[in-house]
Structure 1
């Protein structure tokens, strides 16, 4: 006797209960989900091994033994809609998103859907939401069954950030693969198995993977979907390639591999490096926009439009009418004047530095060390007496290598963040410096004991007082560890009512995150940090202002600092940034005039931020010359430097950078999807899955039903999880939610208030628990929702039978990849009088539940009405089936509309699984006047 074959969407009975069949890994196994459960409850069953045979089952229609009110009917309909995670619409990932995406963030997803193999370079500005854009594509590919493994490659300081973002925003549990964690992951694995095969979802440190043996292992076992964050860190420049780039070339060579490259760093006219990135995305982009004949250039332009997306913040705000997506940025400068002993100390150090450079002689190495060493020392002096003291002691202690001084002077990154916040050792080989250094050390120690008198500290306090009074929560960025730690101690004394944390490179990346997160419960908070936090940990949920206590010598670093706070998801209406500098400081003056002002002018002229030119000799010469001019140095001193063409060369490089930026905007211009192509799809997605209004309505009603109502507060609501029924409270605790939380259903709430959207844990737990209880009352916690009801309303003129339906569909994809998927949808149908034709469908039918009941009826009358309606259900079946087929055709068309395009995307056929499940049965009677 042949075994019964079940397919996705079928209902079966096994082990004494009903299940829904999901796509299974093999013909011998059934992947099933409990009728009243979620995908997390799915199990694999081997029918041949079951003691009782697996049999077909049907869904029982509502009966009159479990009546409920109109409020119960509303709750059941919304709970069903919000608990479904296998959406039937073309954006299958929408039901899993823990973030409310903006319309412009759908552009990369829609571009990827038009490709048979997704390959994109996403180069949006800092803070626009590249992680969300890439995550939505990944989630969509997982939910469509296109891939079942992926890896994110990123700099080490971004690993934990990615793991967190994937879990919170996309419901994906990935493991971090770093040098420190890899051994533990490999423990217990067979020697022949790679950890990338054992763990399907990984976030991998680029530093870990770049070693030859690890690159080979990863390339061999690489998943079919790869995201590369900070992709510019893998390219190298005109002087050569990186080991990382070699790896990416190997990964890109596999034509079926989906590849997303993310970067926000401008290429500043370095077309060679940028073309390498684009060449990884598609071979037609390898030669650059100007290569070949007119046909090749036209082909390049077409490919670029298909595989490249780059938006600046003004593009989003103006072109997409997204003024609310980002806070208003108010920038301010806060100059201060060094006086008294603090000014004298600066002058003494500067005189010392000039004497050192004069003694450097003609030897190129000695001159370079002297220039760089004195600039590094002056940076420390300009930062704080504490940083100066540490640097002077380090200088007295011994020589420093060029490699150690260089990143301190130039804020060098090599494409990734460099934790060079330690004060450098900058000693020269001249032994006669010892006495002078000890004298400067004594002066620095004296000033360290007088921090409250420091004009720089006083200016900072003057700037902070009005901001803190208004509830602003600032991040203060310092250049050096000693400065940050000393400033933290000082601010704790001055602002004792504020919780103040200091985060520097002395902490491991995970410890930095813990220290930042510990500030969340404190309404009054201040964070003091070095540039170890200018990338890697998003701060927009806890802070709304940035203070540049120390100037960065790399203009890109200022953008990175502000980008931690001024980014998508910032809930404050205004983000402030304050740039501090000494107006009588030679070193601050030099940096302002030589670097920062020029970078600002270029950005205003071109609309893009550009990094500093890479010629460090010319940068050094230009800075030293500016210091001398500010200082009023003698002719003898200036001649001793023999600057030659360095400063003039640097000026030319800045001009070339500006021209390169202008040219690149035209060179890489492309016509990505326009708002009118995307906005309709975005609105459809919100309507199908429930937007903020539906979520708010359901959550408030559900909490009231379970006797844990929201408490209204100014501008938000208070959620008291301790009052919830046991099952709900335990589920929330497992997801990190307990106690009282301040929440809002608006997708841009004020700082400190949690946005509650469709897949927020409280909504998910309420919806799943109430829906499960209605379908399986025996397992409900408390009184379960009924599935039938009768009431009178002025919204109908004759008896109306309303059905709340759950439609299941098979999605069959055809093309390169043939797959069978299961989708679900909650909807409704309404029938007037005793007729068998549909009077209202979908939203029109469900809207009747929102029309207020005018009166109730006695129980016996309600039972009679429901029993009569139950008898009519068989007559409604043809109309239900016809509606299900119509929806399948409409959904097939929606999928086709998004996937047809260049490269030949797969087609999708959506077919209903019948019979449909009748979840709710309600009779609405006209009010008798």
Structure 2
């Protein structure tokens, strides 16, 4: 049964005009006010209405509706910025709150060419994989191809995903993990799954991998799944990794399920793991290692259609310093000497003694003592207070010590590539042996907790002073909580004019976010953090420098620390990174020479980080054994260790092998089929249809001027906007969106520090646009906004009439027995002459920037407007023809972008007539006044 009122048509109901929206039925209409927003949409049951619902047409402007020179343009901008269903080739661009770069649109274009999207996005750290994935799911939602999706992510990234989806894509996602599932399930009827009740979810990988939860998820999993840190879900040696892989393998068996896999490290040298990851895209890719010759080349070419991997050097835009920062890195050394040097020597000697003393005892005792020694080494290299915390805590382990080993590995080491540790509590180091010696070491450490006696802290203070003097906003990364507090306390005393805060694992993720944001608003912040912040919270909006106070024992962790600041959205022209290490510290020397510099040399040559092949921290522990048992008079260890230790020599071989494989894979799979330049025309079409950053700024500036609400430009280029100057009705509307008082705003992404980014979908713009449209289209005339402007100007030599029009088009996709209708809207400006001519962006700008040069009497304004309205009305036939032509172009755009849809269904398209004439502008040359 057909719907009586087609989507896009205008009806009169309850003494108001409405636009009929998709999903209407013969009985129930989904409606949006003609001048209102999506938030005002409602549903009316036709049979229950007292007054019959009737067809209507959009009213023409009248001769009485003449306003100031900017009035009609203000209405045009308001109506354009209200649109959420633009007529451009991408459906989603009206619903995103970010200006993506051209390179970030490449994965979206590749995805749209696939019938079922199976895509591995392996871009470098900081390029914006979350944004790239978000663009794809937002497009699928707005095309009606999915109505649910889920993100599978490591636990510490769940909040970040929730925030990114909300802030950038206006998607309210629900976090599902052990701490939230009870509350979520209590609100559900029996037998209903969380994943059916909540359409958009972010699910902890650790929560979902258990058998019971896994089965429920497989049963009710949405049609679209994003997997973050996908390399942690490949078949591997750990039980947790195996469980994750089995889950994803089962999900991938559903042939029409969209799967978007994200990772910065797709290949860490393990071919089997890499091929298993690729097999989630298509099972045939698991055979890559089994075929050769033409068959292998054919398979690689097929895989290239599902695999996007780009380094920063691959991205031309990254070379533009106006868009992305230049990163300058430095290594700074300090020397262990005096009392500090003695403490370090004593700790190192003690560690060697206790390990050697248990060589003939049980395996359990040897492991316990080994972890005590390792804890001491790590903590004494961090800070005196971390050493004290470790020495105060007695190490204990049951005979069955698998869990003990796991816990100590998390606290002492930095984890493996698929499970980097964020555990920042100091490990226990005290054993039953020689308690008197432990007390003596503790007293030595406590006596060194001042910059004058701590060369590492003294060096940090000097480096920070230089960074702050040059205008940088630093983040200092420490390994342990005790170190972070120790450092922060010292910095508060030294840098009294700066705001110093500490963020550690003692805080919940939400508390960390709040503390970072509050500190970021300070004019000169210093953030001291542990690695709980190296993942999950982006810092580029507030900070511009990273200091590694403690060396990480895994190069990927160093990359992640720096990637919090040096990433897409960083406004600074330059980012600094500083790495501190002890010049004569054998622990720092081993880590630096054997691990970090090796990783850096590979990265410089290849352009991406190749993870260290460190299964279960075997290599790291071998390195520390070398420190303990190969005395070198306290001098730094060098790469000679590789020749003296089988396990360390094996590291060289395996890492070189991983490097060669990564190099080969980059050559084969680097995305070269689609260039960002190929995407720009499509993006520009959508921006022109929906409103650019410049048009948002123009609209807000002009409505502020019209309402006598000051918009003051600040020194840094952002603005202050004072809402208390606005009309009371508008103030109340803004308060419902928690907007009031003085606002610091920026119209360009990324926003200046302390300013909110104002885009076309921001609540501020939405409320202002709704208010402007309602004011202009209401029956009572409003002096500050109107549907017509007539004025003298020097910008034209002949009288010029412009018509502001809204085109509505129904786009219907028929797929099997399912029909989905989309409503597309487009704002166009015509020059009305012998025929109608669409004005392109640059031509519009010339007219819209035209300034009035003198007053025009009202009778003359009305005469010009009356003549202009007659000319526009005489072009009804031309308007209809043009609407049909625009509909045809729109259909071609949608077919071209979603090419795969041809295989699954067919499109039909119909313009909604007549075209809405929103307003008229008449520009009269001042030199030819009559």
TM class by smaller structure: over 0.9
Per the alignment, residue 423 of structure 1 pairs with 426
The Cα shift of 1:397 comes to 6.9
545-554 or 609-618, which moves further after superposition? 609-618
Which of 327, 336, 339 is 2:337 aligned to?
339
Match of 1:283 in 2: 283
Q: Distance in 1 between matches of 2:188 and 2:623?
A: 56
Deviations 1:99-131 (A, max 9, x none): 111000000111111112222111111110011
TM-score w.r.t. the length of structure 2 is: 0.93
Distance in 1 separating the partners of 2:380 and 2:133: 43
Judge conservation of contact 1:790–1:856 (CA < 8 Å) in 2. Answer: no
CA contact (8 A) 2:895 2:902 kept: no
- Structure 1 residue 760 and structure 2 residue 758: aligned? no
CA drift of 1:360 comes to 2.8
Structure 1 pair 26/223, CA: closer, same or farther in 2 (3 Å)?
farther
2:37 maps to which residue?
Answer: 38
Please show how residues 478-517 of structure 1 align to structure 2 within 5 Å. 478-517=478-517
Matches of 1:892 and 1:40, distance apart in 2: 28
For residues 233 and 293 of structure 1, do their structure 2 counterparts lie closer, same or farther at Cα, with a shift above 3 Å needed? closer
Conserved in 1, the CA contact under 8 Å of 2:174 and 2:200? yes
What is the match of residue 541 of structure 1?
541
Instruction: Provide the residue aligned with 1:663 in structure 2.
Output: 664
2:140 is the counterpart of 1:141:
yes
Aligned residues of 1:396 and 1:434 also touching (Cα < 8 A):
no
Shift of 1:192: 1.5
C-alpha distance in 2, partners of 1:3/1:579?
69
| Contiguous gaps of at least 5 residues in structure 2 | 636-642
| Displacement after TM superposition at 1:756 (Å) | 2.9
**Is the CA contact (8 Å cut-off) linking 1:589 and 1:627 kept in structure 2?**
no
1:125-181 CA distance string (max 9 Å, x none): 111001111111111111111111111111111111111111111111122222212
Q: 1:511 to 1:79 in 2, by over 3 A?
A: same
Following superposition, the deviation at residue 672 of structure 1 comes to 3.8
Aligned residue in 1 for 2:214:
215
1:774 to 776, 780, 789: 776
Residues 116 and 906, structure 1, Cα contact 8 Å, conserved in 2: no
The CA distance in 2 between the partners of 1:469 and 1:849, in whole Å, is 45
Q: TM-score, normalised by structure 1?
A: 0.93
Query: Structure 1 residues 714 and 13 mapped into 2: Cα distance closer, same or farther (>3 Å)?
Result: same
**SS of alignment partner, residue 325 of structure 1:** coil
Equivalent residue, structure 2, for 1:679: 680
Work out the CA distance in 2 between the residues paired with 1:754 and 1:105: 22
Deviation at 1:628, TM superposition (A): 5.1
In the alignment, the residues of structure 2 paired with residue 913 and residue 3 of structure 1 have an alpha-carbon distance, to the nearest angstrom, of: 16
Cα distance between partner residues in 2 of 1:210 and 1:892: 43
- Higher mean C-alpha displacement, 552-561 vs 245-254: 245-254
**Corresponding residue of 1:745:** 747
Is the alpha carbon distance of 1:396 and 1:232 closer, same or farther for their aligned partners in structure 2, counting shifts above 3 Å? closer
Q: Distance in 1 between matches of 2:330 and 2:810?
A: 58
**How far did 1:851 drift?**
2.8
Provide the secondary structure at the position in 1 that maps to 2:146: coil
Q: Distance in 1 between matches of 2:865 and 2:497?
A: 63
Partner of 1:648: 649
**Separation in structure 2 between the aligned mates of residue 591 and residue 369 of structure 1, nearest angstrom:** 23
Tell me the SS of whatever aligns to 1:326. coil
Q: 2:411 aligned to 403, 408, 411, which one?
A: 408
Deviation string 1:783-842 (CA, Å, 9 cap, x unpaired) is 55111232234444544332111111111224566421101111122222xx4x224545
TM-aligned CA deviation for residue 78 of structure 1: 1.6
Structure 2 Cα separation of the partners of residues 815 and 293 of structure 1 = 39
**Residue of structure 2 equivalent to 1:249:** 249
Aligned position for 1:810: 810
Secondary structure at the counterpart of residue 70 of structure 1: coil
Q: Distance in 1 between matches of 2:868 and 2:129?
A: 52
Q: How do 1:100-139 residues align onto structure 2 when only pairs under 5 Å count?
A: 100-139=99-138
User: How many angstroms apart in 1 are the aligned matches of 2:80 and 2:651?
Assistant: 62
Q: In the aligned structure 1, how far is the partner of 2:118 from the partner of 2:819?
A: 20
**1:664-687 residue CA offsets vs partner (Å, 9 max, x unmatched):** 323544534123322222332332
Is there any run of 5+ residues in structure 1 with no aligned partner, and where?
Answer: 635-641
Kindly state the Cα deviation for residue 660 of structure 1 after the two structures are TM-superposed. Answer: 3.1
Structure 1 CA distance for aligned equivalents of residues 766 and 329 of structure 2: 40
CA 768–47 in structure 1, closer or farther in 2 if over 3 Å, else same: same
Q: Answer whether contact 2:809 2:912 (CA < 8 A) is retained.
A: yes
Secondary structure, in 3 states, of the residue corresponding to 1:105?
helix
1:47 lines up with 2:46 in the alignment: yes
Per-residue CA deviations over 1:870-908 (Å, capped at 9, x if unaligned) read: 344442110111111111112222222222369947654
- Give the paired residue count: 911
**Match in the other structure for 1:193:** 192
Tell me how far 1:451 sits from its aligned partner. 5.1
State yes or no: 1:532 paired with 2:532: yes
The aligned counterpart of 1:351 is: 349
Whether the 8 Å CA contact 1:152–1:228 is kept in 2: the answer is yes
Bigger shift: residues 202-211 or 642-651: 642-651
Match for residue 640 of structure 2? Answer: none
Corresponding residue of 2:708: 707
Residue number in structure 1 paired with 2:723 = 721
Q: 1:510 to 1:917 in 2, by over 3 A?
A: same
Q: Distance in 1 between matches of 2:609 and 2:55?
A: 63
Instruction: Report the equivalent of 2:639.
Output: none
Give how far 1:335 is off: 0.8
Q: Give, in whole Å, the separation in 1 of the partners of 2:884 and 2:578.
A: 60
Distance 2:294 2:491 in 1: 64
